[in-house]
Amino acid sequence: MTEITAALPTIPAGWPVHTLAQIREELCAPGMPFEMETVMIRGVPTRAWKNALPDLRGVLAAARTHGAADFLVYGEERVSFDAFHRAVAALMAALAARGVGKGDRVALAMRNLPEWPVAFMAVCALGAIIVPLNAWWTGEELAFALEDSGAKLLIADADRWMRIAPQAAGLPLQNVVVSRASGPLEGAERLEDLIGAPASWPALPDAELPPAEIASDDPAGIFYTSGTTGRPKGALGTHRNLATNIMTSAWSGAQSARRRGEGLPEPRPRVILLAVPFFHATAFSATLMGSLAGGSRLVLLHKWDTLEAMRLIEQERVTMTGGVPFIAWQLIEHPDRHKFDLSSLEAIAYGGAPSAPELVSAIWQTFGALPGNGWGMTETSATVTHHMAEDYLNRPSSCGPAAPVASLEIRADDGVTVLPPNTVGELWASGPMIVAGYWNRPEASAQTFVDGWVRTGDLAKLDDEGFCTIVDRAKDVIIRGGENIYSIEVENVLYEHPAVTDAALVGVPHRTLGEEPAAVVCLAPGTEAGEDELKAFVAARLAGFKVPVRIAFIAESLPRNANGKILKGELKAMLTDSVLAET
């Protein structure tokens, strides 16, 4: 195939034709598609999209209108929107027959399979609370989340169930449903016995959804995000949180068109290669919700493989992919890229990890596709800011302006004083996408969620137009290819080793992954432990992506300030210099 070598786009004369303020005044006016209203959310007056769907039952109703169009593609399996709706209705009935009702927690531990969104939507549409679990977690990590959430039922694929089963007796589970099991099951029933395999979903009854009373601010899910205590915390997301993202995504495209002076783009389905796990907020909130409502096709990967991704882009005429910067770099730099027709790509969007400014122009030059970026976190149900097209090409270090329903402030260390534009401070965010708090963590909730605002822990600045630039992230967070690694969790495991007396984990730069975890340890006098031994020790207790790629040893205790806090900046500089010297 001919390689795409598009020049950087020519900025239209007079661009931007409209300011952000002018566009918001126009498109958010009464009677316009992005009209806003003020609603009370947990006692706080909050701007919200007036035309947003009220809950996930409304999202399912919108999805049903897309009928025979393909919704999910996985290998040779193809699932239409109609077949998807039939499977959701069937699973809802099966769950209700097993006693699942409003407020009950149902855990979901599964890789990216067509069954994943069926389970997610079935649970939420019953008024129950879905608990998506990280499919890369170890059995111990999965068991902790099952215990913490109090899940009464688990829906898992066979691999995840094998990890959980040895610890199931001590968990609050009343029922376990397993998909794609090849052998006999003990203590569980087959999902296929309830709704059949995906190929059979079109033959399921065209049933209406079982009834459920759901309010917009009712809980929809517990979404685990690691915390500085070393154990994951469950962010309690609502139906409004998830539905908000549908309108926010549409807003971003409308804003870009009006910046050029064009009319509003006509809604049209996309073909999206989903290259990140469903359990990420980027996938279940920013991607799945909009695909259901807008009729887009989701092409699923068994696992990330660049060659397979390019084959699918060509075969399915994929128009959009991304998720994290790592994906874009892998596509750009693969030596066999020229063998595939990737000309269908219109956009590559990502967030969730540090991205180099040069990636922005590289996407356009390589594919002729528009780059997109954004900022959000699990606690904000993904998208708060979004950045794309000419705006992103002209501000490649920014993550964009906030959506109209969101507010951003840069505050001083006191958490109260709002700092002026172009001043670095802690980023605070508010809006209808902010979760209700942390599940069973009242103290952590009180510290993080204040009067409708979430204190993000990220250091950022806002320019005069409201474009946000993240300067640094929350201390102790390492983001490796979109996966959050919280230092204290890994450090606690290192401390369990009998030879380790002092340990610190920091991030070192990596061109495609953003950064990787590296550790510095001090051993107890008279003891011995090598790098491979400590890596294996961590790998036996935590998911593989959390294992340090490098472990350095120092003879003295780690450097600390007067308050006894480890000076991680010094350690990071030391390890970074070492990595750069070897490249």
Q: What is the pLDDT of residue 355?
A: 67
The alpha carbon of 155 is separated from its chain's Cα centroid by a whole number of angstroms, namely 20
Share the mean pLDDT of the chain: 91
Distance between CA 49 and CA 60 in Å, rounded?
A: 19
Confidence check: pLDDT of 4 > 70:
no
Judged by average pLDDT, the poorest of 172-186, 216-230, 384-398 is 216-230
Q: What is the pLDDT of residue 285?
A: 95
Strand partners, 500: 523
Name the pLDDT band for 581 (thresholds 50, 70, 90): very low
| Top-confidence residue, 300 or 14 | 300
Compute the average pLDDT of residues 73-78: 97
Tens-digit pLDDT profile for residues 406-419:
999 999 989 999 99
Tens-digit pLDDT profile for residues 95-115:
999 999 999 999 999 999 999
Contacts of 317 (CB under 8 A, 6+ apart): 271, 344
Kindly state the tokens that stand for 352: 């969730």
Q: What is the pLDDT of residue 353?
A: 59
Confidence check: pLDDT of 352 > 50:
yes
358-367 helix and 325-333 helix, angle to the nearest 10 degrees: 50
Tens-digit pLDDT profile for residues 418-438:
999 999 889 999 999 999 999
Kindly state the tokens that stand for 24: 């918001």
Distance between CA 279 and CA 116 in Å, rounded?
A: 9
Kindly state the tokens that stand for 314: 């060509």
Q: What is the pLDDT of residue 354?
A: 59
Q: Which of 6-10, 90-94, 280-284 has the highest mean pLDDT?
A: 90-94
Residues 69, 295 contacting (CB under 8 angstroms): yes
Confidence check: pLDDT of 5 > 50:
no
Tens-digit pLDDT profile for residues 129-187:
999 999 999 999 999 999 999 999 999 999 999 999 999 999 999 999 999 999 889 89
Confidence check: pLDDT of 464 > 90:
yes
3-state SS class at 60: helix
| Helix or strand (DSSP H, E) at 408 | strand 407-411
Q: What is the pLDDT of residue 329?
A: 83
Sheet containing 500-510: order of strands: 500-510, 514-523, 550-553
Confidence check: pLDDT of 471 > 90:
no
Name the pLDDT band for 484 (thresholds 50, 70, 90): confident
| Top-confidence residue, 546 or 231 | 546
Virtual CA dihedral for 406, 408, 414, 418, nearest 10 degrees? -120
20-27 helix and 239-259 helix, angle to the nearest 10 degrees: 120
Distance between CA 407 and CA 456 in Å, rounded?
A: 13
Helices (H) and strands (E) in the chain, counts: 18, 28
The angle at the Cα of 446, spanning 442 to 447, to the nearest 5 degrees, equals 120
Q: What percent of the chain has pLDDT above 90?
A: 73
Distance between CA 51 and CA 31 in Å, rounded?
A: 10
Q: What percent of the chain has pLDDT above 70?
A: 93
Tens-digit pLDDT profile for residues 241-255:
999 999 999 999 999
Distance between CA 496 and CA 402 in Å, rounded?
A: 43
Which letter does DSSP use for residue 448 in this model? H
| Top-confidence residue, 423 or 512 | 423
Confidence check: pLDDT of 470 > 90:
no
Q: What is the pLDDT of residue 575?
A: 83
Which pTM value belongs to this model? 0.87
Name the pLDDT band for 325 (thresholds 50, 70, 90): confident
Q: Say if strands 500-510 and 514-523 run parallel, antiparallel, or are unpaired.
A: antiparallel
Residue 512: Cβ within 10 Å count: 17
Compute the average pLDDT of residues 309-335: 91
Distance between CA 509 and CA 385 in Å, rounded?
A: 24
Confidence check: pLDDT of 374 > 50:
yes
Contacts of 83 (CB under 8 A, 6+ apart): 71, 198, 201, 202, 204
Domains of the chain, earliest start first: 20-42+237-472 (3.40.50.12780), 81-214 (3.40.50.980), 477-582 (3.30.300.30)
Distance between CA 337 and CA 351 in Å, rounded?
A: 23
**Amino acid identity, residue 260?**
R
Residues 381, 284 contacting (CB under 8 angstroms): no
Tokens 């594919």, residue? 367
CB burial readout 447-484, b (16+ within 10 A) else e: ebbeebbbbbbbbbbbeeeebbbbeebbebbbbbbbbb
Compute the average pLDDT of residues 362-368: 91
Q: What is the pLDDT of residue 473?
A: 64
Name the pLDDT band for 393 (thresholds 50, 70, 90): confident
Kindly state the tokens that stand for 365: 């030059």
Q: Say if strands 347-350 and 370-377 run parallel, antiparallel, or are unpaired.
A: parallel
Confidence check: pLDDT of 580 > 60:
no
CA-based diameter of the chain, in Å? 75
Whole-Å CA distances, 180 to 188, 296, 545 = 12, 26, 25
| Helix or strand (DSSP H, E) at 460 | strand 453-462
Residues 438, 445 contacting (CB under 8 angstroms): yes
Nearest to 312 by CA among 514, 5, 3, 78: 78
